Amino acid sequence: MTTHPTNTSTGGPSAAGGSKAAAAIEKARSEGRTALIGYLPAGFPDVRTTIDAGIAMARNGVDLIEIGIPYSDPVMDGHVIQEATVEALANGFTVPRIFDVVEGITRETDAAVLVMTYWNPVMRMGVRAFSERLAAAGGAGLITPDLIPDEASEWLAVSEELGLDRVFLVAPSTSPQRMQNTVDASKGFVYAVSVMGVTGARTSVGAAARAVVDAAHAAGADRVCVGLGVSSSAQVREIGVYADGVIVGTALVAALRDGGVDAVADLARELSTGTTKVPA
Amino acid sequence: MTDMHQDAGRPGTDAGAADTIDAGTAEAFLSHDESLRHAPGPYFGSYGGRWMPESLIAALDELQDTFEKAKADPEFTAQVTELNRNYAGRPSLLTEAQRFAEHCGGVRVFLKREDLNHTGSHKINNVLGQALIAKRMGKTRVIAETGAGQHGVASATAAALLGLECVVYMGAEDTRRQALNVARMQLLGATVIPVTNGSQTLKDAINEALRDWVANVGTTHYLLGTAAGAHPFPSMVRYFHEVIGDEAREQILEQTGRLPDAVCACVGGGSNAIGMFHGFLDDREVALHGFEAGGDGVETGRHAATITLGRPGVLHGARSYLMQDEDGQTMESHSISAGLDYPGVGPEHAYLADIGRANYEPITDAEAMEAFKLLSRTEGIIPAIETAHALAGAMKVGRRLAADLGPGEQASDRIIVVNLSGRGDKDVATAAGYFDLLPDDSAEQEIAQEGEQL
């Protein structure tokens, strides 16, 4: 690993600054591993299963758990995740249950648990009310796919006050100016979108991913994790050469759909075999 | 006006908990008489903005930059004017509706005839402008969403004219109900993709178009059909529709020598209304009335009266009023008019509602259909069912004006301008079914039962 300029917001390797996500990624780094981040939507097919699957991920090599809030209009998600969230909503999932999921996982494991959510459900509950409940449940923070720092003034203030992580996204299309602003506004890690598109397994993660990660590092981010399209340990290994963490979503959702919690555990174990850092 | 309008926070604030009006802005408007015209965005009071994935921000920046430069380029504005005149058929007429006016308390009623534009509605104004912008950006492909098919047909038309590839996303249910409009788009060279995700309605068609846009943004412009969405869409779509209000203002002055007392328009996303209202925004003596789809009645929950009953939230890139449940999930809207059947509304309307510059009321399906029949029979003009909501509203406004006359005043001293946003040819099957005009065993009867809007 090269060393990157220390940034107060994203914190240096030794200065996780109370960030649970940063601490989890730094722990993996200290063990010579790329951090593995696993995503599942809450309430698919029910809340109990989400908790069990989250615990199974944590016990099979996943460093950070990302739990999505099912939302009626998920514009950044591909078919697999859309179908899962539609089912979760049809099965009666309501937003406050997200805190049960977070608490259920954090009570049983040491994994950092982040919530991935489109912004309107948070706005509806109230940014402060949502954040306080998330913190009380032991949550690390939020990943916000349709909230850019430009619109996030209230979230920036509340998350700072409560010590929650703020994971904003950067993309291949992100301008240098926006990259700097987003890196500065982020806490925990920066989420690098690997391709221009929506969530879904892809056979290869484009060359664009490395450029995005390099640009984020150059802007001062100490932890940059790559998401969208990752589904195998080979991809995890490949991305681990230049990124600090790898996010897997669709493949885990499909595993849960097709094989239940055991299949999630198996896939997590397989993915984790790709996390050992190989020299660049 | 309901007390829901007190429920507006500032950008980035918690709308759900902070039920505070944007008092500073409202006060400035009321006390300083500042111009409301040409509001540039991204914010309209506490509404608007860019609640969008980062992946699309660069495209929105490029669009905004191109649009700003185009507006300042005489060559571009001349192109728009030329297409409006010699392709779309502008200026559209302003027709006095004397027999219909008898049902509006006897006030004088003038119809701004957007139904006479090419493709039969106001939609052409926006698609021609945006297709020209797409060309200026070097994009070769446009995508669009459509509900009933009107914006899809207009987009396919503009794409054919300007040599652009066109893909239209449409709810799967709508593609079945609107088979003839699907055929129309295909005849114009467009590809229609049925959307089977989510509730399979207009909002899901927008979601799918956004997913396409994220993946193909290098070559593709998203030709959004209404004055909603992320900045710069609300102000850009309004800009291309401002011609409606500008023409209407000039025409009413020419025909009557004065400004109207009231202007009426229907509001779904709100593009025809904002284009019409814009011409009169700074004429404070002109009352502006927007009419939302009340469906079966707002008390039934089956409606699309977003401003009347919605709460501020974010959907499709903008903060505005939104039909949402306690969890912030978007609710399904209902209206006999597919064009008004949308659970959101443009952010500039939300702002105009909050500051009290425009008034928004629901019109039920039944009220709209009565006005639909009335205009057809009194003026020989079959309006779009969307437009019929504005006509039903004008009937109410006219009667109120007539009931509120001062001593020595006559109803005929009062003037209403209604935006006749579209023609009703597409709605004949729906209307024939609604009024039970079809023989039981006719093929059309079967179609009408499925809610076809041709």
Q: Tell me if residue B123 is catalytic.
A: yes
Q: Please determine, for residue B10, whether its predicted confidence score (pLDDT) is greater than 70.
A: no
The structure tokens listed for B325 are 């449940």
CA B415 vs. chain centroid, Å, equals 23
Residue ranges of chain B whose CB lies within 8 Å of a chain A CB: 11-18, 49-59, 61, 197-199, 203-204, 207, 210-211, 214-218, 311, 313-316, 322, 324, 326-330
Q: Please determine, for residue B55, whether its predicted confidence score (pLDDT) is greater than 50.
A: yes
pLDDT at residue number B30: 52
pLDDT at residue number B197: 83
* Rg of chain B, C-alpha, whole Å: 21
pLDDT at residue number A199: 83
pLDDT at residue number A15: 44
**pLDDT band for position B23 (50/70/90)?**
very low
E strand or H helix that includes residue B343? none
Under 8 Å CB-to-CB from B265, ≥6 apart: which residues?
B272, B273, B276, B277, B289, B290, B291, B390, B418, B419, B421
Distance CA A155, CA A129 (A): 11
* Residue contact A193–B55, C-beta within 8 A: yes
pLDDT at residue number A280: 58
Distance CA B115, CA A216 (A): 52
Across B11-132, where does the E strand assignment appear? 43-44, 47-51, 94-96, 108-113
Q: Please determine, for residue A260, whether its predicted confidence score (pLDDT) is greater than 60.
A: yes
Distance CA B96, CA B252 (A): 10
Quick one: what percent of chain B has pLDDT higher than 70? 90
ipTM of predicted complex: 0.93
In the predicted model, what is the mean pLDDT of residues B252-262? 98
Residues B437, B372 contacting (CB under 8 angstroms) = no
Instruction: Return the closest-CA partner of residue B310 out of B266, B274, B360.
Output: B360
Q: Does residue A151 sit within a domain?
A: yes
Find the closest chain B residue to A197 by CA distance: B215
Find the closest chain A residue to B204 by CA distance: A73
State how far the alpha carbon of B82 is from the alpha carbons of A120, A138, A237, in Å.
42, 62, 58
**pLDDT band for position A4 (50/70/90)?**
very low
CA angle B383–B267–B97, rounded 5-degree value: 35
* Residue contact B327–A121, C-beta within 8 A: yes
* Rg of chain A, C-alpha, whole Å: 17
* Residue contact B329–A154, C-beta within 8 A: no
Distance CA A236, CA A226 (A): 9
Q: Which of A26, A52, A63, A66 is catalytic?
A: A66
DSSP string, chain A: -------TTT--TT--TT-HHHHHHHHHHHTTB-EEEEEEETTSS-HHHHHHHHHHHHTTT-SEEEEEPP-S--TT--HHHHHHHHHHHHTT--TTHHHHHHHHHHHH---EEEEE--HHHHHHH-HHHHHHHHHHTT--EEE-TT--GGG-HHHHHHHHHHT-EEE-EE-TT--HHHHHHHHHH-BS-EEEE-SSS-S---SS--THHHHHHHHHHHTT-S-EEEESS--SHHHHHHHHTT-SEEEE-HHHHHHHHHHHHHHHHHHHHHHHTT-B----
Residues A110, A81 contacting (CB under 8 angstroms) = no
Least Cα separation, residue A186 to chain B (angstroms): 13
Q: Tell me if residue A87 is catalytic.
A: no
Q: Between these two residues, A194 and B420, which has the higher pLDDT value?
A: B420
Would the pTM count as exceeding 0.90? yes
Give the length of chain A: 280
Q: Is the peptide bond before A45 cis (omega within 30 degrees of 0)?
A: yes
Q: Please determine, for residue A261, whether its predicted confidence score (pLDDT) is greater than 80.
A: yes
Distance CA A166, CA A275 (A): 24
Q: Does residue A7 sit within a domain?
A: no
Find the closest chain A residue to B43 by CA distance: A151
Q: For residue range B69-120, what is the model confidence (pLDDT) as tens digits? A: 999 999 999 999 999 999 999 999 999 999 999 999 999 999 999 999 999 9
DSSP-derived letter for residue B344 is B
Least Cα separation, residue B379 to chain A (angstroms): 42
The structure tokens listed for A196 are 């221009």
Q: Does residue A21 sit within a domain?
A: no
Q: Please determine, for residue B421, whether its predicted confidence score (pLDDT) is greater than 80.
A: yes
pLDDT at residue number B339: 87
Q: For residue range A125-160, what is the model confidence (pLDDT) as tens digits? A: 999 999 999 999 999 999 999 999 999 999 999 999
* Residue contact A76–B15, C-beta within 8 A: no
E strand or H helix that includes residue B194? strand B191-195
Q: Which of A71, A73, A228 to mutate to test the interface with B (most CBs of B within 10 A)?
A: A73
Count: domains in chain A: 1
A:B CB pairs within 8 Å: 142
Q: Does residue A3 sit within a domain?
A: no
State how far the alpha carbon of A55 is from the alpha carbons of A62, A256, B286, in Å.
9, 13, 63
Q: Does residue A18 sit within a domain?
A: no
Distance CA B404, CA B17 (A): 39
Q: Which of B112, B123, B203, B396 is catalytic?
A: B123
Q: Is the peptide bond before B232 cis (omega within 30 degrees of 0)?
A: yes
* Residue contact A73–B326, C-beta within 8 A: no
Q: Does residue A203 sit within a domain?
A: yes
Q: Which of B7, B10, B13, B14 to mutate to test the interface with A (most CBs of A within 10 A)?
A: B14
Q: Which of A26, A52, A63, A77 is catalytic?
A: A77
pLDDT at residue number B438: 83
Under 8 Å CB-to-CB from B359, ≥6 apart: which residues?
B1, B287, B288, B289, B290, B353
- Average pLDDT along chain B: 91
In the predicted model, what is the mean pLDDT of residues A244-263? 98
Q: Does residue A4 sit within a domain?
A: no
Q: Choose among B11, B53, B324: nearest Cβ to A145.
A: B53
Q: For residue range B363-380, what is the model confidence (pLDDT) as tens digits? A: 999 999 999 999 999 999
Q: Please determine, for residue B33, whether its predicted confidence score (pLDDT) is greater than 90.
A: no
In the predicted model, what is the mean pLDDT of residues A230-243? 95
Q: Please determine, for residue B24, whether its predicted confidence score (pLDDT) is greater than 70.
A: no
E strand or H helix that includes residue B290? strand B287-297
Q: For residue range A24-72, what is the model confidence (pLDDT) as tens digits? A: 999 999 999 999 999 999 999 999 999 999 999 999 999 999 999 999 9
Strand arrangement of the beta sheet that strand B141-146 belongs to: B191-195, B165-171, B141-146, B220-222
The structure tokens listed for B442 are 């006719």
Supply the range of the domain harboring residue A110.
Answer: 30-272
- Average pLDDT along chain A: 93
Q: Please determine, for residue A122, whether its predicted confidence score (pLDDT) is greater than 80.
A: yes
* Residue contact B54–A174, C-beta within 8 A: yes
pLDDT at residue number B447: 57
Tokens 């690993």 -> residue: A1
DSSP-derived letter for residue B380 is S
Q: Please determine, for residue B21, whether its predicted confidence score (pLDDT) is greater than 80.
A: no
pLDDT at residue number A195: 86
Q: Please determine, for residue B40, whether its predicted confidence score (pLDDT) is greater than 90.
A: yes
* Residue contact A153–B314, C-beta within 8 A: no
Residue B21 CB coordination number (10 Å)? 17
Q: Which residues of A touch B207 (CB under 8 A)?
A: 73-75
Q: Please determine, for residue B313, whether its predicted confidence score (pLDDT) is greater than 90.
A: yes
* Residue contact A124–B324, C-beta within 8 A: yes
In the predicted model, what is the mean pLDDT of residues B385-395? 98
Q: Choose among A73, A122, A148: nearest Cβ to B207.
A: A73
Distance CA B346, CA B341 (A): 13
State how far the alpha carbon of B210 is from the alpha carbons of A76, A184, B53, B187, B229, in Å.
8, 27, 10, 25, 11
Exposure string for B266-276, b = 16+ CB within 10 A, e = fewer:
bbbbbbbbbbb
Tokens 């809450």 -> residue: A42
CATH number at residue A91: 3.20.20.70
Q: Tell me if residue B145 is catalytic.
A: yes
Q: Please determine, for residue A2, whether its predicted confidence score (pLDDT) is greater than 60.
A: no
**pLDDT band for position B2 (50/70/90)?**
very low
Q: For residue range B345-363, what is the model confidence (pLDDT) as tens digits? A: 999 999 999 999 999 999 9
Residues B142, B159 contacting (CB under 8 angstroms) = yes
pLDDT at residue number B198: 77
Q: For residue range B215-254, what is the model confidence (pLDDT) as tens digits? A: 999 999 999 999 999 999 999 999 999 999 999 999 999 9
Q: Please determine, for residue B12, whether its predicted confidence score (pLDDT) is greater than 70.
A: no
Instruction: Return the closest-CA partner of residue B385 out of B411, B399, B367, B408.
Output: B367
DSSP string, B210-267: HHHHHHHTTTEEE---SS-SSTTHHHHHHHHHHHHHHHHHHHHHHHHSS--SEEEEE-
Quick one: what percent of chain A has pLDDT higher than 90? 86
Find the closest chain B residue to A73 by CA distance: B207
Q: Does residue A108 sit within a domain?
A: yes
Q: For residue range B118-161, what is the model confidence (pLDDT) as tens digits? A: 999 999 999 999 999 999 999 999 999 998 788 999 999 999 99
* Residue contact B315–A169, C-beta within 8 A: no
